[in-house]
Structure formats: structure tokens, C-alpha cells
Amino acid sequence: MNAAQDLRAADARHHIHGHTNLRSHDEKGPSAMVVEGQGVWITTDDGQKLIDGFSGLGCTSLGYDNARIAAAAHEQLSTLPYAPTFYGRSHPKVAALAERLVNLAPGDMSRVIFQCSGSEATDTLIKFLWARNTARGEPDRRTFITRWRGYYGNTVASVSMSGQPHMHEKFGLPLDGFVKTETPNYYLNHIDGETEEEFSQRMADDLERVILDVGPDRVAAFAAEPMQSGGGAIKPPEGYWPRMQAVLRKHGIHFHVDEVVCGFGRTGNRWGSETWGLEPDTVSCAKALTAGFFPMSALMFKEDMYLDLQANADDVGVLGHGFTYSGHPVGAAVAMETLDIYEEIDLVGHVRSVSPGFLAGCEELLDHPLVGHVGGVGLFCGIQLVSNKATRELFDPALKVGQRVQDHAHDRGLYLRAINPDRISFMPPLIINAKEIAEATRRLKGALDDTWAELNA
């Protein structure tokens, strides 16, 4: 057994992987051992080179080898590798990042608190809104409304806010006080003859039903991604966001926008909020904030919320919240350098320039017998696999058709993600060029062909 085989065996024996079939992992070990990355390409321990079609986990916006970010991290590690932000202490990089980020944020944000992950940002949001409502004399305003298939994290509270049943089952979740409205998957869920606008109105009506069922004065917030990622890259249908926001305004409901995946260019604008005209009261971001080079997230909010938190802190003596690595110096340095690079290379402009070719290539897959629907924006696309295009009938889950496509794509040198029910999420690093897009799409077409042949064998 060579060194690579030893490491694979050690991984199988000792390393627990999230969102992985544990029994299969015990038996087979890791499906891939990635050892190197360059541009949009990753290399495994057996020498296979793959195009990253999912940006790692939606985070490697600048690809895998960026000397400037590495140098910024090294310089900060050499100067000040750690500094706490508790007890009013700070350091230069986090102060500069805080000011820069709120100035870039959608909406009138004035304050930011940093965490290590989108999950922690969601937990912070939940705590802060509960605290804000207590300060306002509304302690019963505690219920969070989100959408089925939405994803906001994996901690106990953030996964309760998420609408992913397989993340709840066997964990005794979700917690009480987290309720769901419909997911805006027009293709799978529309009634025959129903237009996108009519479907969107039905979604807004369901949101209003949930608000009234809970009681508007008991709702802490409605939270949503501009375009659902965890649900399989579900693009909102026409008229959806204007109607949803009208319901929120009608009932005075706080609107939290999760920009963890959409933020920093994924949809062809800096924020998904810009793409769909959203007016958030609070915003969270992560992933592309540091291009995946360092774990860091941010929760941004308006001044009135800060004043409520301040009033509570006056009573208690401090804000009773924080994380050891909040505002980590290396993370802040990496984020500042990442934002510099985004501006200097006009990353949003690049996404807009390559997006038409990317989306056209995806839409050509509609000719394939496995593909029922394709919907995307920017460099963010969801591909729905169906057994019957005429009826939109899904495959028997036991066939694991999405997983088959994912595995065949891997064999052909394309890293993708399959999401139930049999959706392919295609969202490559934002620096991908037209030639690489064409090659990635060719490999995806080949994976669909392989799966179709396998199903018909």
C-alpha cells in the first residue's frame, strides 16, 4: 500500500464526512482525494484533473491559486496571526473591512459582525432579532419563516431555519418556532396552464397564509436566498420577489436576505439583491467574501437594530455574544485582498461577459432525454432531470439518477453536485473563461449520455 492509499484508508477509518453516506465511506473510502488546485482545475491523488463545476462548495470564486491572496495571508500571519475582538479590542484589518463591507452592502446597512461561517451568521441573526424584539417590548416576536428547500446552515438553529428534511430527520429537529412556506420551483410545482406570474402569486398567498397562521406580531423575520442554492439552484420565477416583498411590507415583517452563495458576483451583480430588486433589513454573506481561502462570514444590519442591541447591552453590561475567531486578522486581510481583486479585474463584468455562453450551453442540454428543465442566471444554473418530460415525472429515488450523473461527470473530469430530487447544480468559479465553460458543458453532456446508456442497459 503506497502513501496515497494509506491516507485514503486512514480517512475511511477515522474521518467523518458531512453529507456523505457513512456506510459507503467505510467500505470504499473517499470518492476523491484532492491534492492540488490551479485556476478552475483541481487534481486528485491519482493524477486526475477535473474542472470545478461547483466552486468547491460555492466559494472558490477566484479559483485555486492566487498569489496575492496567499501573500496577504502570509503577511498577516507574520505580523499579527490572531487578535480577539472581545472586550472592545480590535485590529486594523477588521476595522477597515467593516467599513468597506457596509459601504458595499445592499440596502442601508451601517453595522457588521463577523463570524467563521454562514451557519454562525444565521445563528447570530436569530439571537440578535430575538434580542432586538425584547428591547422593543415584543418578546413574543420569535418565529422565523423560511422556504422548503432553503438552506441557511447546519448548526442546531440554522438548520432548523433551513428547509432540508434530511438534515432534520434523526436529529430531533427542527426546533419549535421555525416554520416553512412553499419553495418557488415553478417547473416542478406549477399547475398545468399556470403562468409564472400566477404561480408567483400563489407563492405569495402561501407566505401570507403562514404569516396569518403564526400571527404577524409573533413573526421575527422571513429569511431567504435571492436564488435558492441548497434546493438545487432554483431561479425565482417572474414576479416572485415583487409579490413576496409586498406581503412582507403589508404585515411589517423583517426581511433577511442570505447572500452567502449569491453575493459578490454569482448572479451577474455584486449581490443577488440587486439582480432581483430586493430590499433587505439584514444581510449575511460568506463563501466568496474570502474566495474560499479562509473561513469567514458577516452579518450586516441597519442602525436601528444596533440601537436596540445597545439598549440591551446597557441593561446587561455587555453584548453577551461572540466567537473566538470573530473578525480574525488573517480572514480580514484575505477578505480585503479578495475585494481588491474583484474590483481590479472587474469580476462582475467578467461574469456578465461569459454568462450568455454559459447559460446557452446549459440550455442546449434541454435536447437531452434526461433533462426536463434548465434555469439560471450569471454563473448559476440548475438542471432538472426527469423520467418523463411531458408529465414532469421524477425518477424513482432508488435509481439515484442525479448521483449517477455526478459520478459520470467526475469520471469525465468535471466536479459537480447532485441535489435531490435529481437536480444538477452547476456553478463554476467566477473566473472561468469561455473555453473552459465549453469544455465543462461538453463533459456534462457526456455524463448525461453515460447515465442515459446506463439506465437503458
Domain boundaries, the chain: 32-65+346-456, 69-344
Give the residue-averaged pLDDT of 410-415: 97
Distance CA 54, CA 43 (A): 15
Q: How confident is the model at residue 1 (pLDDT cuts 50, 70, 90)?
A: low
Residues near 317 by Cβ (< 8 Å), separated by ≥ 6? none
Give the residue-averaged pLDDT of 287-303: 98
Calculate what percentage of the chain has a pLDDT beyond 70.
Answer: 100
Tell which wins on pLDDT, 433 or 230. 433
In the CATH scheme, what architecture does the domain 69-344 have?
3-Layer(aba) Sandwich (3.40)
Q: How confident is the model at residue 31 (pLDDT cuts 50, 70, 90)?
A: confident
324 vs 87, 173, 296, 347, 436, CA distance in Å?
Answer: 12, 27, 12, 32, 40
Q: How confident is the model at residue 186 (pLDDT cuts 50, 70, 90)?
A: very high
- Tell me whether the CATH fold assigned to 32-65+346-456 matches the one assigned to 69-344: no
Give the residue-averaged pLDDT of 111-139: 97
> Is the bond into 174 cis (omega within 30 degrees of 0)?
yes
pLDDT for the residue numbered 244: 98
pLDDT for the residue numbered 27: 85
pLDDT at 12 over 90: no
pTM greater than 0.85: yes
Q: What CATH number labels 32-65+346-456?
A: 3.90.1150.10
Distance CA 407, CA 394 (A): 19
The residue with cell 481588491 is 340
Distance CA 277, CA 9 (A): 50
pLDDT for the residue numbered 11: 87
